[in-house]
Structure 1
Amino acid sequence: MANNERDVRGRFKVHEELSPIQLKMIVELLDNGGNKREACRKLGVSRTTLYGWIDNTIWQEEYRRACERLYKVSLAKYMDKLDKMLECKDNRTVMKALETGLRLNGYLKTDLNIEKNTTENIVVSFFDGSKDDENEE
């Protein structure tokens, strides 16, 4: 069923469910990094039609949900890799993993500067990127 009906403002009317090709388009856009031209070419859909679908609030909501699902799966994989990094014998790798984990969870909003000195100790300093902080030691 094509979504060709328009509301009083000329936008496509909202329908209760998406067609199979609309769902395929969402998957294709997520798979190819959002390249609309390529997705339309691959699925044989005009870009005008795609932009009409994008105007549809049901399509927007399904696309948003698909993005959230993809993000959660990716984040879980990423956190597994970070856990493995924490077991590494290289202290710099461990500190970088900690920095990334803290940043992903919203606990670190500043830059973390990690320097390794000759005694194998790690120096950690927090700074906000301003010139004054860089000159303080």
Structure 2
Amino acid sequence: MAAQNFTPPYPFEHRVSPEDILAYNEAVDRDEVRKLFRAWSAEDDARAVEGAKVEAERNEKLAMQGALKALVQSSESLQQASGMNHKVWLDRQEAARYLGVSTRTIDRKRERGELRGYLVEGTKTFRFKKTELDELMEG
């Protein structure tokens, strides 16, 4: 029978003691564990980087939403203000909005005589001159 080439599973197994083989196995196992830990650590790092990117995108989106909301509110305020600029007469709610007070404050000022209200004929509603509202704000 022909001689077969036999390679032992461990280097130089035929020359080492069983204790050396055991130490070699433990070293191989430790290397495998280290490789696994490195792989897991790399995966964790990748997840952390991805999480940071997602968080940054979320914060950027929230900031943009906040800025957009402020812009819309500013735009609405400008529209309301510009809508009143051409008006000479304002109703109670418009006068309150124009002065930045409540409608009850407008009623109190009218009742005390601090603000002149003009009764609309045939109704129970009052109108206020914008120029008089401007004078009230200045004085």
Q: Tell me the TM-score range normalised by the shorter chain.
A: 0.3 to 0.5
Report the TM-score, using the length of structure 1 for normalisation. Answer: 0.36
Asked which structure has the greater CA Rg, the reply is 2
User: Which structure would you say has the larger RCO, counting Cα contacts within 8 Å and 6 or more residues apart?
Assistant: 2
Report the TM-score, using the length of structure 2 for normalisation. Answer: 0.35
